[in-house]
A and B are shown apart, each in its own frame.
Chain A
Amino acid sequence: MSIRSLFPPGRLRTVFLPAVLLFGLMTGTHARADPSSGLVHDGVLDVCTNPTLPPMTFVPGADASDLAGVDIDVARAVAQAWGARMVLHSMDFVGLFPSLESGRCAIVISGVTRQPARERLFDAVSYLPTALVVVARAGTRPIGSLADLSGQMVVTQSGTSYAARLERENAALAAQGRAPIRIQQYPAEEQVVQQVLLGRAFAFVSQDVELGFRARQLHGKVAVILQPQDDNYRSFALYIRKNPTDRAALQAAIDHLDQTGALRAIADKWHIRAATALTQDLSTPPRFDVRAFALALLSVGFARAALVTLAIALLSHATAIALSMPMALALNRPGGVVRRAVGLYVALFRAVPTLLQLLFVWNALPQFFPVFRGDWFSPFLAAWIALSLNEAAYQVEINRAALGAIDPGQLVAGEALGLTRFEVYRHVLFPQALRVALPPTINEFINLLKTTSLASVISLQELMALTQIHVARTFEFTEYYAVALVYYVAMVCVLLLTQKRVERRFHWADRVKAGAHGG
């Protein structure tokens, strides 16, 4: 299936323009001295990849940090040729080029095809020939051209250039007065394939090598119905930031690997072959593999991913609550610059999508402040910062409402007893506000727990990221979806039980229940 032929230039800009608009400038990339190792820093070659595209780049086993595939081998060979150590950065596909732009990695290699449009922004070096394929369910009659897809539903992976290619075809179809190809886009390749397996879509557009590799997983359930000639999809390429010296060095390294037969050996190792060699038939109906489900459910990998999900949600929410307290107090007091600043913060962070905030913190911060390019700035830390800032904006409103719900006489009564302002808040107002704030706060936390799945775009290995990696590896959709579902439901259930327990402490607010406890 697909090589994700990278997004057209327009898509890249949608992510970065806000950054440019907000801050007004982009800092330049660092200067390089040694031409042979311009892409290597401190003996390390940083490589960004999205490991959901076998056989190019994927996770072969249960350990999500153990990547394999053609791309990984090629990158390793290049690093070795330069006497450098390869460090892989695994992330969501849409995060790849922003990470290259921000200098987090020197090379992107992730089954991306070479396209002129993309080369306007980045330098590319080809390393493997490939071809575009249109794939449908086994038994579908082959078609003569893309135009024959007129009126049909065709799926592609979002972030790839396939949709743009189909739109061009639609323009031609419209000129002839024919029905357009209906296009649906999904964020992950395995979801694209699933639409065809389910019969929801007629065909999908992809790249020959992946389909060849997938042949066994798919049990011959799909077949290539068209292999259109298109120069834009002839080869896979490594991408680097624009720099003629680096480009020449990379080209030389790839040429050397080609001449020594190393590239050939890598291709053979991963059984790269023409997709047309696929055999049909043997269509076994999909069954729920209980064993795969149970093994995944009990695996250390999923437990760890669930822990990451829970930890990032807990830490972010705790930080958000700490941040929101003084802001809520400021909002409940009249006038002033502080109050207006807090209002602006709340408006801004509620207006901007959480996904954008994550991408901004992870990819834009390092551009403005080089200090964020260091290894210490991990995806976990970035997600923590982004989600805390986002959540605090909502928590402020909850806290403000809770404090506002308390009788002003309580503050006066506390102070009249000689308590300091702080003691009144600590012992009188906060305990009462907590009762009002708790239910909406728990709601917020449950939302946040699920929002953490967005952090997969900045390569945080949380529950959904791991699920997608395993689905891409095995094509066992339901099994791994079920594992994620069980984990999320379990976490939320524990949370709701905790809420019940805590709310029991608020019996003072209920005459009947207070009687049962107070006596």
Chain B
Amino acid sequence: MVADPIISVRDLRKSYGTFEVLRGLSFDVARGERIAILGPSGSGKSTLIRCFNRIEPHDSGTLHIDGTVVDARCDLARLRAEVGIVFQNYNLFPHLSAVENCMLAPRLVRGMTRHAARDGAMRRLAQVGIAEQAAKYPIQLSGGQQQRVAIARALCMDPRVVLFDEPTAALDPEAVAGVAAIIDALARDGITTLCVTHEMGFARRIADRIVFMDDGQIMEIAPPETFFTSAVTERARAFLARMV
């Protein structure tokens, strides 16, 4: 499907008890590609991306990320340094300031000195445009600012892939545009991004390809211009009709 893919998924399955959330998914993602994952609530979008850094272990099927097999025996610390994630409600550490949030993993996982970790964290905070908020605690920051800190925190581990779980759910339009600009910048640096979202305009703006999921399966994969104008499947068309 894609030459030299950074992510390769084959027949991925996962169940919670008797309920099958992921029902045999297969697709590839190219290096530096920007993917938006669309689909109705409960279609398994968040579960899918959480399998990529194994905070949700999959049950069967194979998953390769940058040549490494993701399974029960893989080096989790290495995998999670490679694959960063930004959560829907950010999950910043409330007892640490913005810069300390970004320093924690580099110090503990990479063994960096406090000084080096702080330099790296400040660079990333500047990259997402909130260096001046570095000393503030999460409770003092707006939703958009917290989102940026969460992105900076993920970038501090120098990931090759960044997963976004509903990054725009709680943001005003201006902040949404900011997140889109950040994702563009990441792509220019060769970082692959996968973004679960509900927002059609945002998906169209940031995605090289749209992955449309329903009922634990991939229904359609297409570039945004194709997907939004002439979706092939009945379900995708029904979904788009509901959303517009």
**Interface residues, chain A, CB within 8 Å of chain B?**
407, 409-410, 412-420, 423, 427-428, 431-432, 435, 506-511, 514-515, 518-519
Contact = CB atoms under 8 A, between A and B. Distances in A.
B93 interface: yes
A412 B108 CA distance: 16
Given A427-B108, A510-B139, A518-B135, A416 B95 contact: no
Interface in B36-91: 53, 55, 76-81, 84-85, 87, 89, 91
B105 A417 contact: yes
Given A416-B53, A417-B104, A427-B104, A409 B81 contact: no
Contacts of B80: 415-418
- Top-4 shortest CB links A-B: A413-B91, A418-B80, A417-B105, A409-B91
Contacts of B135: 518-519
Given A413-B93, A418-B80, A509-B94, A514 B137 contact: yes
10 contacts: A410-B91, A410-B93, A412-B87, A413-B87, A417-B105, A427-B108, A508-B96, A509-B94, A514-B140, A515-B140
A474 to B, nearest CB: 54
Contacts of A413: 87, 91-93
Contacts of B140: 511, 514-515, 518
Given A418-B80, A518-B97, 10 more contacts: A410-B91, A412-B91, A418-B78, A428-B104, A432-B93, A435-B95, A508-B94, A509-B95, A514-B136, A518-B137
Contacts of A514: 136-137, 139-140
Interface of B: 53, 55, 76-81, 84-85, 87, 89, 91-97, 104-105, 108-109, 135-140, 153-154, 157
Contact of B108 (A423, A435, A507, A511): A423
Nearest to A430: B95
A414 to B, nearest CB: 8
B95 A432 contact: yes
B153 A508 contact: no
Contact of A409 (B89, B104, B137, B138): B89
Contacts of A435: 95
Contact of B87 (A409, A432, A507): A409
A272 B59 CA distance: 89
B77 A418 contact: yes
B139 A418 contact: no
A423 B109 CA distance: 10
Contacts of B92: 413
A416 B49 CA distance: 12
A419 B109 contact: yes
Nearest to A412: B55
Nearest to B75: A418
A461 to B, nearest CB: 43
A432 B84 CA distance: 24
Contacts of A518: 97, 135-137, 140
A203 B151 CA distance: 81
A423 to B, nearest CB: 5
Contacts of A420: 77
Nearest to A506: B95
